[in-house]
Amino acid sequence: MIWLNNLIALILPLVPKSLVKLFAKQYIAGETLEQALEKTAQLNRDGLGVTLDLLGEDPGDISACTRALGVYEKAIEAIHAKGLTAGISLKPSHMGLKLDKAFCLANIRHLVEAAAQYHIFVRIDMEDASLCQDTMDLFLALHEQFSNVGLVIQAYLRRSIEDINRLLDLRANIRLCKGAYYWEGRPVAYKDPDIIIESYIYLLEKLLSKGCFVGIATHDEKLVFQSLALIDRLGLSKDAYEFQMLFGVEEELRQILIESGHPIRVYLPFGEEWFAYSLRRFRENPKMVGYILSNMGNFLKNMVKKF
């Protein structure tokens, strides 16, 4: 649906940020760590694990990375102190990958080490394809030293088969997703949704059959079905995988999976930098464009009335 993505890209900059925020709220725990911890406790009570993600990418200066590092340190301490079932997820660009690779590696190593003492898991998110190799290298360096660190593989990338082949023998802990950076070009990414689904299942089968723990990150019911069929065919126990879903998305499907006894983890973003993340979620939810446009109409009518 490239036309839809283009339409959204065109109109969203025109929409007042306060209106965007109204819709963004459904995907985000809040702007503070405290709100995120409260929501985590609530999700834990409902039987769900959580991955906390501090929003923000590509901050542009070292001090912003250091501030983000500080919030993650507090999150790790709080997860431990409150006895929450939660890990953290971080974006390498947020930790300074585009500024200085060694600085970024030191930041992530520091967090993985801090989390390791409490057996808390750290997931390294995958961003756009230009950062894929550096992210892979970061992960490989950390995995040599720590077992509480995992990576994300995107099924839409053509390189993912080779990447997975490198990770199988390491028994790496992988979150498998379709991939969210819709603008990737055809030379690096599959553009056909059916091929992305086939790629996902191919990669999932390789990972699960070689004993890698997989976070099956999707809300696509076709993929959920195919994953369940694969889990059944391979005779896997419930500690070999978990389903992962984004906060605020497909809660009905999430509930169905919980009631069937499957382990589920919710990806729970928080923080002030909610704009870029929310735009990616809007693009994946065509209905949202309609809501935003009709609300923008009302918003403009009210503005006109005021004058």
Active-site residues, by number, are 125, 175
Q: Which two tokens stand for residue 14?
A: 């025109």
Residue 126 interacts with ligand FDA (CB under 6 A): yes or no: yes
CB of 191 or CB of 301, closer to ligand FDA: 191
The distance of closest approach from Cβ of residue 287 to ligand FDA in the complex, given in angstroms and rounded to an integer, is 7
Q: From residue 78 to residue 117, what is the string marking binding to ligand FDA with x (rule CB under 6 A)?
A: ----------------------------------------
Span interacting with ligand FDA, options 70-78, 111-119, 177-185, 292-300, rule CB under 6 A? 177-185
CB of 58 or CB of 77, closer to ligand FDA: 58
DSSP string, 22-65: HHHGGG---SSHHHHHHHHHHHHHTT-EEEEEE-----SSHHHH
Residue 43 interacts with ligand FDA (CB under 6 A): yes or no: no
Residue 267 interacts with ligand FDA (CB under 6 A): yes or no: yes
Interacting residue with ligand FDA among 52, 105, 189, 217 (CB under 6 A)? 217
Please write down the long-range contacts of 130-136, taking CB distance under 8 Å and 24 or more positions apart.
131/92, 131/93, 131/97, 131/98, 132/157, 132/159, 132/163, 134/92, 134/97, 134/101, 135/92, 135/97, 136/163, 136/166
Residue type, 209: S
The distance of closest approach from Cβ of residue 301 to ligand FDA in the complex, given in angstroms and rounded to an integer, is 27
Span interacting with ligand FDA, options 12-20, 75-83, 226-234, 243-251, rule CB under 6 A? 243-251
Residue 178 interacts with ligand FDA (CB under 6 A): yes or no: yes
Helix (H, G, I), strand (E, B) or coil at 174: strand
Q: From residue 131 to residue 160, what is the string marking binding to ligand FDA with x (rule CB under 6 A)?
A: ---------------------x-x------
The distance of closest approach from Cβ of residue 304 to ligand FDA in the complex, given in angstroms and rounded to an integer, is 31
Span interacting with ligand FDA, options 100-108, 143-151, 218-226, 293-301, rule CB under 6 A? 218-226
* In contact, 68 and 56? CB cutoff 8 Å: yes
Please write down the long-range contacts of 104-108, taking CB distance under 8 Å and 24 or more positions apart.
104/65, 104/138, 105/138, 105/141, 105/142, 107/65, 107/69, 108/138, 108/142
Helices (H), 53-153: 62-81, 101-116, 132-143
Residue 184 interacts with ligand FDA (CB under 6 A): yes or no: no
Cα angle, residue 179 at apex, residues 104 and 156 outer, rounded to 5°: 115
Interacting residue with ligand FDA among 244, 269, 274, 292 (CB under 6 A)? 244
Residue with tokens 């979150």: 175
Residue 197: which of 172, 224, 231 has the closest Cα? 224
The distance of closest approach from Cβ of residue 78 to ligand FDA in the complex, given in angstroms and rounded to an integer, is 21
Q: Which two tokens stand for residue 258?
A: 């919980």
- Residues interacting with ligand FDA, by CB under 6 A? 125-126, 152, 154, 175, 177-181, 217-220, 244-246, 249-250, 267, 281, 284-285
